[in-house]
Chain A
Amino acid sequence: MTVVLMFFAMLAGLAGWWLARQRLTAKPWLEQGVLDGVPDFQLSHDPAKRTGLSFLLAVIGALFTLVIGAWFMRSDFGDWRALPIPEILWANTGALILSSIALEYSQWAVRRGDLLRVRIGLVAAALFAVLFVLGQLEAWWQLYSAGFFVAGNPANSFFYLVTGLHGLHILGGLIALVWAIAKAWTAEQADTVRLKVELGATYWLFMLFVWMVLFALLNGWIGEFVAFCQSLIS
């Protein structure tokens, strides 16, 4: 529950910081005429997608935070038996990092107007992402073969739940990535796919971050870290 409250406190802080700059203390009944600095429809069309993505990330963040909160509450119960983490998860993590780097490369290229490298970056990112998903399935298969079924223990259940939810978000991102590749293939100029690449790179970084947190959680590092902090306080 602390995790959830911390996440929401962070969001509240961001919202408060943003609201504080919105002239909420203005007295609108005294003001007349056009107040400038307000974007209109055409000008703001592209940033709208960026704003939309940041809200989407907040929602996805809330989703995973709540799952992690539930993880901590449930793992306090006596029947929790941590399961061995398959080695292949390390390789998968590497694949996701490479995928993200490829997208960063593509983003760097799109800003220089280098369409060829944009395409290379996008395709590489998609391939590494597919590799990641396949690797996750392999990890599931290994655990399943070793007898760690989803209903066997709450630790198993949570493992399948969080990796599954994360995998679905990666698959969703892959659809967008394939869409961007299709656009990049027919594009004449790099600028036409600029926004897609930039948004894709942001989303991918976020999902990488989520995966890092989940990976640390699965390995029990976060639990150890919290225990360490508690020992410092007491």
Chain B
Amino acid sequence: MVDATHGHDAHAAEFPDAELYHPRSWWTKYVFSQDAKVIAIQYASTALAIGFVALALSWVMRMQLAFPGFLEFVDANAYYQAITVHGMVMVIYLITALFLGGFGNYLIPLMLGARDMVFPYVNMLSYWTYLLAVLVLVASFFAPGGPTGAGWTLYPPQAILSNTPGQQAGIILMLVSLILFVIGFTMGGLNYIVTVLQARARGMTLMRMPLTIWGIFIATVMAMLAFPALFVACVMMLFDRLLGTSFFMPALVEMGEHLSYGGGSPILFQHLFWFFGHPEVYIVALPAFGIVSDLISTHARKNIFGYRMMVWALVIIGALSFVVWAHHMYVSGMNPWFGFFFATTTLIIAVPTAIKVYNWVLTLWRGDIHFTLPMLFALGFIVTFVNGGLTGLFLGNVVVDVPLSDTMFVVAHFHMVMGVAPILVIFGAIYHWYPKVTGRMLDQTLGLIHFWITFVGAYLIFFPMHYLGIMGVPRRYFESQDISFLPPSAHDLNVFITVCALIVGAAQMVFVFNLIWSIRHGKPAGGNPWRATTLEWQTPETPPAHGNFGRELPVVYRWAYDYSVPGAAEDFIPQNQPGGAPPHKEGSE
């Protein structure tokens, strides 16, 4: 926080008319703050912190797969607990929270020219509920029996049977934590949506919004409608676990004993879970799509190709993602006609997604590409996403999916498409916006080390996994050395993957060091280091002060992508700069 020289008393006088809350003490300014920027940093720090726990868990899993017995505390139970918490944290508590709670909070008011979110108090509650959810999840490590080992999908009946690790307290804490997360997210989500709809600066029409905001907006709408399914599933499973109901639990014999459950439907849970779970993939993908569009346009100094198509594609993907959920259930015993229907919708969703990829590539085409760190990560995202998307076409087809189900192929697919790809965008976005948040640049050399190890390493980790999967190596197995049909080379590959995973994980420490070191020692960035057009770079102060835009809110005169306009004095025209000849002549569509 370099330039934060303002006392908070000054702000009350600066814009008396705005109905803005003014922090009065250190506590309300930095801890129980209602300022979206502070909440964003809180969200992002919490998400990254819990994300590193999940990263450490992935090391545990990889060590077990490559060197069984090396880590003595890892038995089958610990392995399943590591899998479960790793998956759940990465998908929900890290990526979802970071994209929507972190970037959403920081960027929505700033990019739209608003002073703050429309409901700052609710926004603050949202963060603290999220933190509580994280703490409840962490608490399960210290509960008797440890965290749940049911797999991140928490499928009943095994999730609450006594042989599953964490059956005592872990599963209860997991479900409570998810319920809290949904409540916290709904509070935040209302803010993001209503701020986008109603707090935009004068002149900022929907079709002038940067694609980052479009992505976050559509993802938030989806999340608001998808999370209730997770909520319902969690509440019902809590009933099953605590009150002995049989929503999901069929009649069971365990250890020769008839359990009191009977008649419930595990498939019902799967429907509810994936009704949330598949939109969730796009909830983390759409903000990434939006952000990457802005990164590419800014760092290639070229307007985004096909802005309208990009917006429409986001909307169409958002809508379609609600009718594809059962492609996760091809082997669950559905009516085959369902499989046919869901395979079709799954393949259709590739069309708007492909449109986006073409548009990114066409934006790069003959652009003035600067290989800055954000651009490198954006390029890394495009290839990774295409790779992960292509294996999605394999798995979307019922006949191909059936033999590949529950193999490492699936693990490789979803890590590429919704693990590595969005994480690369998150990194790129942090390198891009860090100068605005702190006023200083992140170190370039450390960033390059981080990028190349992460990007190449991710491929070395997940590419071989596809081959393991085709060979038939099952996922979720505690150890696979004695499986007779696997050649010894499969195990060699596992060792290789583990070594790569350890190195890539260690490279993230470079990133964390960079984040912390650069707060004080980074190169001063100035207000607009990337020479970008969007409003957050036009604030009078960097980092933006409370209220964002000083006395006068900006007025928007143009769209967000006026880069390299012929005849303009500079190669970018900020959105709030009036006047100038029409930027594009005939034939520019």
Chain A residues at the B interface, C-beta cutoff of 8 Å: 1, 4, 8, 11-12, 15, 19, 22-36, 38-42, 44-45, 47-49, 51-52, 55-56, 58-59, 62-63, 66-67, 70, 73-74, 77-79, 150-151, 154, 157, 161, 165
Contacts and interface: CB of A to CB of B under 8 A. Distances in A.
B243 A151 contact: yes
Nearest to B229: A66
Contact of A29 (B264, B319, B559): B559
Contact of B307 (A19, A29, A47): A29
B582 A63 contact: no
B265 A48 contact: no
B246 interface: yes
A77 B583 CA distance: 65
B420 interface: no
Contacts of B584: 29-30
A161 B243 CA distance: 11
B176 interface: no
Interface of A is mostly: helix
24 contacts: A4-B275, A11-B225, A27-B308, A28-B307, A29-B303, A30-B582, A32-B557, A32-B558, A33-B203, A34-B556, A35-B203, A35-B205, A41-B553, A42-B18, A48-B119, A48-B199, A58-B225, A73-B271, A74-B268, A78-B263, A150-B239, A150-B244, A151-B244, A157-B239
Given A19-B315, A38-B200, A58-B225, A161 B236 contact: yes
Kindly list the 7 A-B residue pairs having the minimum CB-CB distance in the complex, ordered from nearest: A79-B263, A28-B559, A151-B244, A157-B245, A63-B228, A34-B203, A44-B198
B247 to A, nearest CB: 6
B60 interface: no
Interface of B: 17-19, 114-115, 118-119, 186, 189-191, 193-194, 197-208, 221, 224-225, 228-229, 231-232, 235-236, 239, 243-247, 260, 262-265, 268, 271-272, 275, 303, 307-308, 311-312, 315, 319, 322, 553, 555-559, 561-562, 578, 580, 582-584, 588-589
A73 B224 CA distance: 23
A55 B228 CA distance: 13
A30 B589 CA distance: 9
Contact of A154 (B204, B247, B556): B247
Contacts of B205: 23, 26, 28, 35, 38
A59 B246 contact: no
A75 to B, nearest CB: 11
B244 A8 contact: no
A66 B239 contact: no
Contacts of B268: 70, 73-74
B204 A74 contact: no
Contacts of B239: 150, 157, 161
Contacts of B221: 15
A23 B207 contact: yes
B194 A8 contact: no
| Most chain B beta carbons < 10 A, residue from A25, A29, A32 | A29
Given A1-B271, A25-B308, A70 B247 contact: yes
A165 B263 CA distance: 23
A1 B338 CA distance: 12
Contact of B193 (A27, A36, A55, A70): A55
A52 B206 contact: no
Contacts of A40: 199-202, 553
Nearest to B191: A52
A36 B202 CA distance: 7
Given A28-B208, A40-B553, A34 B202 contact: yes
B576 to A, nearest CB: 10
Nearest to B224: A59
B199 A27 contact: no
A12 B206 CA distance: 19
B221 to A, nearest CB: 8
A203 to B, nearest CB: 14
A160 B512 CA distance: 48
Contacts of B193: 51-52, 55
Contacts of B559: 28-29, 31
Given A38-B200, A150-B243, A150-B245, A23 B275 contact: no
Contacts of B556: 34
B19 A42 contact: yes
A73 B317 CA distance: 28
B578 A33 contact: yes
Nearest to B114: A41
B312 A24 contact: yes
A51 B198 contact: yes
A40 B115 CA distance: 11
Contact of A59 (B225, B265, B272, B308): B225
Nearest to B246: A154
Nearest to A158: B247
Contact of B118 (A23, A35, A45): A45
Contacts of B207: 22-24, 26, 28
B386 to A, nearest CB: 27
A8 to B, nearest CB: 6
Contacts of B204: 38
A42 B194 contact: no
Contacts of B224: 55, 58-59, 62
Contact of A38 (B202, B228, B247, B557): B202
B318 to A, nearest CB: 9
Given A25-B308, A63-B228, A157-B243, 14 more contacts: A4-B275, A28-B307, A29-B583, A31-B559, A42-B18, A51-B194, A51-B197, A55-B224, A56-B186, A59-B228, A74-B265, A79-B263, A150-B244, A151-B245
